[in-house]
Amino acid sequence: MTRAQKRSAARLAAVQALYQMDLTGTGVVDVLAEFEGYWIGQEIEGVEYTPAEAAFFRDIVGGVVREQRSIDPKVDRALADGWPLKRVDAIMRAIMRAGVYELTARHDIPPKVTISEYVDVAHAFLEREEAGMVNAVLDKIARAERGDHLRAS
């Protein structure tokens, strides 16, 4: 399995962990331990969960929790008027938060890669139109935060 595949799996697991935290109020330490010990790279009831880059998974989940106060207003500004982040479905919130964290904190990853990866995650859980909204929001934030990098690539 390539590093890119392990990172894709880490993004998917991070979104699932953030979603779980949002719905259940589980703390970051507990959710990291659960996902790393029970889900990632395991086979459960005949379903094989892809191995993920653990450090990358921890960085995304921990980073979103740590930076959420700065991430959420960015998403609110990028969403259509009248649709604050709190009105968005929990899985879409998790996808957008993870994507924004990566766009703003992981300058080692090209914005186009980040956007593409999270749109792929969105397609796993959401309808096409909602995945398009994830694309639009992340693109708008990428242009505001890392527009110089988008123009250069």
pLDDT of res. 87: 79
Domain extent for 23: 3-147
**What pLDDT digit, counting tens, does each position of 22-50 carry?**
999 999 999 998 888 877 777 666 666 67
Are 130 and 122 in contact by the 8 Å Cβ rule? The answer is yes
CA distance 79 to 76: 5
Q: Look up the CATH number of the domain holding residue 95.
A: 1.10.940.10
pLDDT of res. 153: 47
pLDDT of res. 151: 55
CA distance 128 to 96: 15
Does residue 95 fall inside a structural domain? yes
Does residue 153 fall inside a structural domain? no
pLDDT of res. 104: 96
Identify the three-state secondary structure at position 53.
coil
Does residue 99 fall inside a structural domain? yes
Q: Interior CA angle at 134 toward 13 and 26, to 5°?
A: 35
Does residue 7 fall inside a structural domain? yes
Does residue 152 fall inside a structural domain? no
Residue corresponding to tokens 């392990």: 6
Does residue 63 fall inside a structural domain? yes
pLDDT of res. 39: 75
Token pair in block for residue 78: 């990028």
pTM to 2 decimals?
0.91
Token pair in block for residue 91: 């899985």
Provide the number of structural domains found in the chain. Answer: 1
Positions in the chain short of pLDDT 50: 152-153
Q: What is the largest CA-CA distance in the chain?
A: 46
CA distance 18 to 14: 6
CA dihedral 129, 130, 136, 142 (to 10 degrees): -150
Distances (CA, A) of 74 to 47, 96, 103, 138: 36, 10, 11, 10
Does residue 38 fall inside a structural domain? yes
